[in-house]
Amino acid sequence: MIEQYIPVIAMIVTGILFGVVSVKAHEILGPQRPNKSKETPYESGMEPVASAHERFSVKFYLVAMLFILFDIEIVFMYPWAASFRELGGFALWAMLLFVVTLFVGYIYIVKKKALKWD
Amino acid sequence: MTQTDLLAGLAIEIVSIFALIIMLTDALVERSTRLCETLSIVGLLGGLAASAYAHLTMPGQTAFNGMIVVGGMSTLYDAIFCGAGIMTVLLAREYLTRVGGMFDEFYTLLMMSIAGMMLMGHSADSMPMFVGLEVMSICFYVMAGLMRNKLSSNEAALKYFLLGAFASGFLLYGIALVYGSVGSTAYSAIAAKALSTQFPTLFWVGIGMMIIGLGFKVAAFPFHQWAPDVYHGAPTVVTGFMSTAGKAAAFSGFVGFIAPTMASGVPGLEKAKVILALLAVGSMLVGNITALAQTNVKRMLAYSSVAHAGYLMIGLAAGNAAGWTGITYYLVAYLFMQIGAFAVVGILERENGGNLTVDDYRGLARRRPGLALVMSLFMFSLTGIPPFAGFFGKYYLFNAAIQADLTWLAIVGVVSSVISVWFYLGLVVIMYFREPLGEMEGGEASISSRTALALSIIGTLLIGLIPQAIINIAAR
């Protein structure tokens, strides 16, 4: 029983070692001459303008949430479409039911102006 | 999927379809509150009728490849969920208007959560049980935060959501481990194959995780910490609904999956019973003793609902037929008395959590004699004083414990009921024999609220007087 798991354990140990060794080796072997511009998060990037910890409008979250909803619809649609013939009539009705339910939700979000940006 | 399947699941289908219709009505019709209210009641009555039809024509049948079961206890569960829904709908409009809650999605969420609960009550397999539980829980998270402008309501929603998601994870992992050890998610197959499984440890770890997940949902000790804050922060009508129908749904899932296993005689069962008994003892004592110290009526009822989860867990620990019917009977009794008590609290409540402390109830009998009388009735029933419903509920549960050689558990139950006398009857004393502090502007109860109160009173009295009727339905 346990022998079967040896590759998994070896994998985990290698993963941890690789992470720790590569970070520590760089710290020990490399020369360290810090200066101000090297300490910035993006050494050769744009000058930071302000803190990223801002409050975003709730609209962003709303759009993200609705995206997931319809994304899931597609996730279900693809396997169904790929094996439509084998699944037959029952799957067609089940899919119709699913799509109609989601469509009701779509009407709801449109009417509640969830997709209006301003 | 055949016609029989569709007919067997008709009650769930009707409620779900009405949930969608109400969602559309809410979006398309201006000022649709009253229309949504009517549609909800029609849908719930339709669900009740379909459930009764299935109960009479196909008792004990399974449908959808053995995923759901019809008749017997599941009919009573349907009646609990739809009944709680109807009473909540009747109470909601007046209350939410007064305290400034949001209506928009209330009726849709309520109907959807009921559909989820019914799926749990009907499930004969872990998968529909889990789906039903999630449908219910997600609606509850939103309903707890219905008062968007109130900080405590937001806190309740967030707390409930974070902890609830965690508990769902436990439950799902438990289901997965049980599946891993016996190779099936169907309750009957789990019980049958548990005897010959090669991985008994895995099986019991899985069952333990399922107990943790469901124990959280019923607010049993030591997974009850969320309950007081959530019950306190949520709108009172929602609290009443969550603490009765939500608890009933979680217990229906609990009984469904644990009853066949308990009957199968799997080795290790005795230990599981001891653990359930300890959870019951902890819930009863912690719930009742903490409730003693509460000065807020809503929090007091929240802690006492933890204790009621404890009484119900006695039935689980007993693990016999008397235990299952006892749980079902108690859930029906609890529905009426708890929703009734929260209805009275809701009628007295003002904006910003006014009139919620025990001191606000001083001398209530003089200013609102009717309400005080009704509240006393519910308090007597919650304490478990005959001839009210609560007494027979406890009687059946304690009786089941004694039949299962758990007499000590029944004694702890009685002792903790005695503790609960202090705060339940204490409230009655305060309402009748204390001088009022200052003025209390009265909120008039509307006709629909009165109807809901009347339903609770009739329920509390009637099923206390004819307990056998409920038992007969459950046993069918």
Q: Which of B1, B27, B104 sits opposite A107 (nearest CB)?
A: B27
**pLDDT, mean over chain B:** 88
Contact B308, B454 (CB under 8 A): no
Q: Which of residues 86-115 of B touch A (CB under 8 A)?
A: 104
Decide if B445 is inside a domain.
Answer: yes
Query: How confident is the model over B274-320, as pLDDT tens digits?
Result: 999 999 999 999 999 999 888 888 899 999 999 999 999 999 998 88
pLDDT of residue A46: 77
The Cβ-side half-sphere exposure at B18, using a 13 Å CA radius, reads: 27
Percent pLDDT > 90 in chain A is: 14
Helix runs in B123-221, H state only = 126-144, 151-182, 187-194, 200-217
Task: Return the exposure string of B279-306: e unless at least 16 CB atoms fall within 10 Å of the residue's CB, then b.
Answer: bbbbbbbbbbbbbeebeebbbbbbbbbb
Predicted TM-score (pTM) of the model is 0.87
Helix (H, G, I), strand (E, B) or coil at B458: helix
pLDDT of residue B82: 93
Contact B231, B242 (CB under 8 A): yes
pLDDT of residue B440: 61
Weakest mean pLDDT among B253-257, B397-401, B443-447: B443-447
CA distance B253 to B16: 19
Identify the CA nearest to B144 among candidates B60, B38, B213, B229: B229
pLDDT of B250 higher than 90: yes
Decide if B100 is inside a domain.
Answer: no
Q: Which residues contact B450 (CB under 8 A, 6 or more apart)?
A: none
If you average pLDDT over residues A9-38, what whole number do you get? 89
pLDDT of residue B476: 61
Cα dihedral: B285, B432, B466, B339 (round 10):
-60
pLDDT of A48 higher than 80: no
Contact B337, B456 (CB under 8 A): yes
Q: Which residues contact B344 (CB under 8 A, 6 or more apart)?
A: B371, B374, B375, B378, B453
pLDDT of B352 higher than 70: no
Query: How confident is the model over B139-149, as pLDDT tens digits?
Result: 999 999 888 88
The dihedral built from the CA positions of residue B294, B297, B302 and B306, taken in this order, carries a sign that is positive
Query: How confident is the model over B422-457, as pLDDT tens digits?
Result: 989 988 898 888 887 766 665 677 888 888 888 888
pLDDT of B270 higher than 90: no
If you average pLDDT over residues B235-247, what whole number do you get? 91
Decide if B356 is inside a domain.
Answer: yes
Decide if B2 is inside a domain.
Answer: no
Decide if B62 is inside a domain.
Answer: no
Residue B27 structure tokens: 């979006």
Percent pLDDT > 70 in chain B is: 96
Record: contact A104-B26, CB cut-off 8 A: no
pLDDT of residue B128: 93
Going by pLDDT thresholds of 50, 70 and 90, the confidence category of residue B463 is confident
Going by pLDDT thresholds of 50, 70 and 90, the confidence category of residue B101 is low
CA distance B223 to B216: 5
Q: Which of A93, A112, A113 should we substitute to test contact with B (largest number of B Cβ atoms within 10 Å)?
A: A112
From the CB of residue B78, how many other CB atoms can be counted at a distance below 10 Å? 28
Identify the CA nearest to B137 among candidates B115, B163, B110, B164: B164
pLDDT of residue B385: 86
CA distance A96 to A115: 24
pLDDT of residue B452: 87
From the CB of residue A113, how many other CB atoms can be counted at a distance below 10 Å? 8
Residue B349 structure tokens: 């409540």
Contact B235, B101 (CB under 8 A): yes
Going by pLDDT thresholds of 50, 70 and 90, the confidence category of residue B251 is very high
Q: B265 or B90, which is more confident?
A: B90
Query: How confident is the model over A62-117, as pLDDT tens digits?
Result: 888 888 888 888 888 888 888 888 888 888 888 898 899 888 988 988 888 878 87
Contact B62, B188 (CB under 8 A): no
Chain A residues near any Cβ of chain B (below 8 Å): 90, 94, 101, 104-105, 107-108, 111-112
Helix (H, G, I), strand (E, B) or coil at B193: helix
pLDDT of residue B442: 59
DSSP classification of residue B245: I
Contact B459, B388 (CB under 8 A): no
Contact B227, B219 (CB under 8 A): yes
Decide if B354 is inside a domain.
Answer: yes
pLDDT of residue B210: 92
pLDDT of residue B174: 94
Record: contact A104-B1, CB cut-off 8 A: no
Enumerate the residues of chain B whose CB falls inside 8 A of the CB of residue A104. 20, 23-24
CA distance B308 to B287: 8
Q: Which residues contact B116 (CB under 8 A, 6 or more apart)?
A: B131, B132, B133, B134, B135, B136, B137, B139, B249
Q: Does ipTM surpass 0.90 in this model?
A: no
Decide if B196 is inside a domain.
Answer: no
Q: Which of B1, B12, B23 should we substitute to test contact with A (largest number of A Cβ atoms within 10 Å)?
A: B23
Q: Which residues contact B433 (CB under 8 A, 6 or more apart)?
A: none
At B242, the amino acid letter reads: M
Q: A36 or B21, which is more confident?
A: B21
pLDDT of B150 higher than 90: no
Helix runs in B67-150, H state only = 73-99, 106-122, 126-144
Decide if B335 is inside a domain.
Answer: yes
pLDDT of B212 higher than 70: yes
B348 min Cα distance to partner chain A (Å): 33
If you average pLDDT over residues B348-373, what whole number do you get? 79
Q: Burial-class residue A40 by CB neighbours within 10 Å (0-12, 13-18, 19+).
A: exposed
Q: B224 or B354, which is more confident?
A: B224
Structurally, chain B folds into a number of domains equal to 1
Range of the domain at B400: 297-476
pLDDT of residue B433: 86
If you average pLDDT over residues B237-255, what whole number do you get? 92
Percent pLDDT > 90 in chain B is: 43
pLDDT of residue B353: 62
pLDDT of residue B443: 63
Weakest mean pLDDT among B39-48, B143-152, B356-365: B356-365
CA distance B450 to B95: 12
CA distance B57 to A110: 43
